[in-house]
Amino acid sequence: MADRESNRPIVLAVPGFEAANVATAMRATFPHRPILSWPEHDAEAEVLVAFRPPPGIFVALPSLRLVHASGAGVDHILRAPGLPADLPVCRVIDPAPALAMARHVVHAVLHILGNHARYAEQQREAQWMRLPPRALPASRVAVLGLGSMGQAAAQALAALGLPVTGWSRTQRDLPGIPTAHGMAALDGVLASADVAVVLLPMTAETEGLLDARRLALMPPGAAIVAAGRGNQVVEADLLAALDAGHLSAAHCDVFATEPLPASSPLWRHPRITITPHIASPPDSAALARSVAAALAALDAGETPPGLADRARGY
């Protein structure tokens, strides 16, 4: 199987800013395979690497053995029309994206706890005024989602001396970090969190998870870091909680609609810091390694690493 299929094409359907780097990494990893960028394609292609599969792509590629996400999320692929029911879908499994996410989360949490958004306002107003910092050992952080990225973020925050609690929908153990699991435990975790870091997969269960009721459970002056998937923090409820003064800040990297429309009030809110979905930017070499590992497992008749569970949605 491996020898026969070692020269079959790989088709890339990734965002434009990623395309060149991904193609270079794929050609280096698979020197004997044609690497095609959609809409260029070949009906004999056996691998599709995609972020959001374009309409009609599965009809054009009837010989696929594998669909591989260009990052850690698979929700756009699992929701794509025409995805064959028996086609394996895998995500990137590699330390590099998790490390990038940990760096982003640490930056966001320290940005909030250090009052840096307020200092940016003061700079624009040429105002020299020191604000009382929040002591790290007294600033409780809840990391919601304990996949590879959530674990890396939780461990990085704990290493700085922050008291961290992890929460996941199913039981996960993390050395040195207390964890809770299940929807019944979520309210209690939020009620004792000065900062909630949202790193959950996008599923029907997590959509709209942090709504007005749950945001109100957090202590006065608490903050949100949203870096997993859009739609998990209800944007209108987040704005209302900030305007009411219950929440003090939000650092958002993901949104219900991306790119975030220019008309969105999130852009102009003084307590919101926005980044354009860059928390864990695509690592082309990590992606190529992950695709190679998945193909090797399929060739050996084994379960590929990072295989999505369609019933769970990730």
Is residue 277 part of the annotated active site? The answer reads yes
Length of the chain: 314
DSSP state of 89: E
Contact 53, 34 (CB under 8 A): no
3-state secondary structure 246-282: CEEEEEECCCCCCCCCCCCCCCCCCCEEECCCCCCCC
Tokens of 241: 């909680």
User: Can you name the residues that pair with 4 across neighbouring β-strands?
Assistant: none
d(CA 128, CA 122): 7
Catalytic residue among 277, 289, 310, 312: 277
Instruction: Using alpha carbons, select from 215, 209, 208, 212 the residue that is nearest to residue 190.
Output: 215
Q: Is 246 a catalytic residue?
A: no
125/93 Cα distance (integer angstroms): 45
Non-local CB neighbours of 113 within 8 Å, separated by 6+ positions: 133, 134, 136, 139, 195
Residues 6+ apart with CB under 8 A from 239: 265, 266, 269
Is there a contact between 306 and 290 (Cβ–Cβ < 8 Å)? yes
Q: Which of 68, 111, 172, 229 is catalytic?
A: 229
Tell me the two tokens of residue 298.
Answer: 């399929």
Cα 159 to Cα 216: distance, rounded to the nearest angstrom:
29
How far from chain centre, in Å, is Cα 63? 29
Give the residue numbers annotated as catalytic, written as ranges.
229, 277
